[in-house]
Structure 1
């Protein structure tokens, strides 16, 4: 969910030494010591009770709620400006819902479950026993720093694990606050937050966790997976990509336009599941462009100085987005910018209004890179088959959106496209549904979490076979004879 080459992990983790950082042995020793402490504590209680897990989840929810205002202010300060309501909607409420869902359902997920036993092995029994993994490492990004640090933690704690978190260097005020807040209610052997820059990231990524969760770009995901592989650490990689939006001619534009505009402009487009580009018939592009520009100006009568509109996280990210526009325009694209704000003031505040890009071509960088900002390219396609063909020839995206009222076409898209998740007639809402997994596929991710999917990702689903006293398995023991062949024949018949 982080994308730019200027991203913290993008510029630092390419230099990861799988054996960890050697330049600051004291810092590495600290992380090693914390991990050893957490593993020892886990080994002392390898399968904690529901009462213990529930208490940790409730404590987590209460301390986040108690410091909600502090988190909102710290995140806004790190961004330059971020609307209070955006942090409440996209971070605080998501966390509250995730914790409540976990508290309600984890007792059921924890129970050993019966599974069928093949007829030839009866009257033996099979069971699956969920078992915590141990210590979960969490590398979280800057774009939704609270949600993307805490939601994996909810899954980890609910599954009975301990956790170490490395938040992004791009949000230093938030990161220090998170370390302080969680440090008040959790011992180091339960939850630990590691703050810092390059050296911390290098050492953290090389730790032999029992599972590692990384949220970031596809390029960095490859590096993280390679580092984790040195210790055979399994990974959940929540990555990104170019999430397409298909607008069918049957779509109700009165609802389609504001929903796309809202999803694109939330957090100024700095969202891993933001609509990256739109696919629609050529003859509808001008009307759609007019409508979404007008909608953006309705949402934000001004962009500069507007407390409701979020700034781009850093100068380097702002420059990258401007470079994408310059590249597209130089290659023949038409650029339309919402609003009429002073350009110098916008640049000073690192704010970019909704910018619609038409006449796009595949050689433009804006059509090759995940945008991660409020730029919206439009690709002309005359049929849904053309749209699907365009999507299928590219990396599998983290999300896909379809707008329309034609049920047959909707089902065609669901059958023939492959993406991490889908929202129909809106965008991004599938991410916060706790009863469906959230994750990518191929270059957009590996594994999933949220709800039961998170519990399973952070658990070992241990299979157990209970042999019966009445078992006839001894007939398969050597020395082999007529009884063995009779038993084999019987088993073949009933398999």
Structure 2
């Protein structure tokens, strides 16, 4: 594994720059890969993922302390495999030259756009879904004809070892290279002159990544996070809404960038929501938070961070309720936090200022939909917004008067796995997108091309001007 931790900072930088130079030289020498070469790369990656499914499940379990193999199979493995299948199916269409319009006064001529590979893509992936969030950007980069260098999170060393093993088996380092290490390696990685850099992580770190990339004018795609709200319309069945919120909030122990961060319910439904949410949590995890189905917090640092958020809310007069079956089980397993609901929250509490990234759910009330929308619009634009409601005026208000990375109606988090939808944030929750054709285009250069014939109408509109130029101008500007 290319672990660079023990090397001096200068050596780390030289090693990374050497790999970048090697990949760029190979890209320039060999030129853009054909559609068959791209498909072959995607198929190799797909096969390797499936062949190592069990190793990934075991490695992620080791990194988290406890995470269900089903969770890894569904959210880490299946999402990438389906994403690769989507790219394979649509690659020819994505690569197709697009004809563009040429005005009459420039005829005869052709205008068209071709999508070229950018060259070398840098990918910085997080720890919460360490397989999917490293390999789906890689698959997109390969589909677009690029080479890639990957820097995964240092918090998942076991998973990184499997990633390194399979990628080194199916790709040369001039095609795909992976480098592991701590903040020294991450910092040096962000300073490389990539052709594009994709970062998935926190907003705070995203600012540093963008600042470093700007020194080399490297374009960035930032997949960040923030506080993704849920609005439940008073007319919508509260039991169904609570069930879907519980699923999105507690999958992976709440450690998802698009997990519902807080819920807004009508002021008349607060007690109903608590009852319905408790029931939903019991159904999801009938053996409680001590079961193998419930994911632990990734490490002691993040467990303490979440505990501090809860304690701060208590000190500031919030009401904290642990829900589900046997919540005390959480205290019997390391770095495990029971599903928790926090009421009477306000903006003075840290829990309403910071992204939670855990199984803790603040719940607040609204009196009318305009108030709920105003509250959301007064805060940084979220990565995801969830609305539960029928097709009525309130839904239209939420759809047209709020801005978020994605909007999902009557469920949570599943928009991420709809591969034909672009995925990305806006403002503090990110910039740019991948998935779908948007991902292919993010990692491609849309090159406009204009072809003139030997004689062209535009020659009439050049000096010396005469009556014909006057006639054409009059016709065009009427």
TM-score strictly above 0.5:
yes
What is the aligned partner in structure 2 of residue 422 from structure 1? 407
- Aligned mate of 1:436, from 416, 421, 431: 421
Task: Confirm whether residue 262 of structure 1 aligns to residue 244 of structure 2.
Answer: no
Task: Confirm whether residue 85 of structure 1 aligns to residue 66 of structure 2.
Answer: no
CA distance in 1, matches of 2:306, 2:288: 16
CA distance in 1, matches of 2:17, 2:288: 46
- Aligned mate of 1:338, from 320, 323, 326: 323
Q: 1:436 to 1:339 in 2, by over 3 A?
A: closer
What is the aligned partner in structure 1 of residue 358 from structure 2? 373
- Cα RMSD over matched residues? 1.7
Check the 8 A contact 1:247/1:403 in 2, yes or no. yes
CA distance in 2, matches of 1:368, 1:319: 17
Check the 8 A contact 1:82/1:311 in 2, yes or no. yes
What is the aligned partner in structure 2 of residue 286 from structure 1? 271
- Aligned mate of 1:467, from 440, 443, 452: 452
Cα offset, 1:302, TM superposition: 3.6
Task: Confirm whether residue 184 of structure 1 aligns to residue 169 of structure 2.
Answer: yes
Scaled by the length of structure 2, the TM-score of the pair is 0.96
What is the aligned partner in structure 2 of residue 163 from structure 1? 148
What is the aligned partner in structure 2 of residue 141 from structure 1? 126
CA distance in 2, matches of 1:406, 1:358: 29
SS in 1 for 2:209: helix
CA distance in 1, matches of 2:104, 2:466: 23
What is the aligned partner in structure 1 of residue 3 from structure 2? none
Structure 1 runs not aligned, ≥5 long: 1-20
Check the 8 A contact 1:304/1:346 in 2, yes or no. no
Cα offset, 1:291, TM superposition: 1.6
Q: 1:114 to 1:345 in 2, by over 3 A?
A: closer
What is the aligned partner in structure 1 of residue 201 from structure 2? 216
Deviation per CA, 1:337-367, whole angstroms, max 9, x where unpaired? Answer: 0246475862642111110111111111111
Deviation per CA, 1:282-329, whole angstroms, max 9, x where unpaired? Answer: 220111112212221222234353110100001110011111111111
CA distance in 2, matches of 1:48, 1:342: 54
Which has the higher mean CA deviation after the structures are superposed, 246-255 or 97-106? 246-255
CA distance in 2, matches of 1:177, 1:325: 35
Which has the higher mean CA deviation after the structures are superposed, 173-182 or 93-102? 173-182
Check the 8 A contact 1:176/1:195 in 2, yes or no. no
Which has the higher mean CA deviation after the structures are superposed, 453-462 or 342-351? 342-351
What is the aligned partner in structure 2 of residue 405 from structure 1? 390
What is the aligned partner in structure 2 of residue 319 from structure 1? 304
Structure 2 runs not aligned, ≥5 long: 1-5
Scaled by the length of structure 1, the TM-score of the pair is 0.92
Check the 8 A contact 1:46/1:134 in 2, yes or no. no
SS in 2 for 1:427: coil
Task: Confirm whether residue 70 of structure 1 aligns to residue 48 of structure 2.
Answer: no
Check the 8 A contact 1:303/1:341 in 2, yes or no. yes
What is the aligned partner in structure 2 of residue 393 from structure 1? 378
Q: 1:345 to 1:268 in 2, by over 3 A?
A: closer
CA distance in 2, matches of 1:342, 1:281: 27
CA distance in 1, matches of 2:140, 2:459: 44
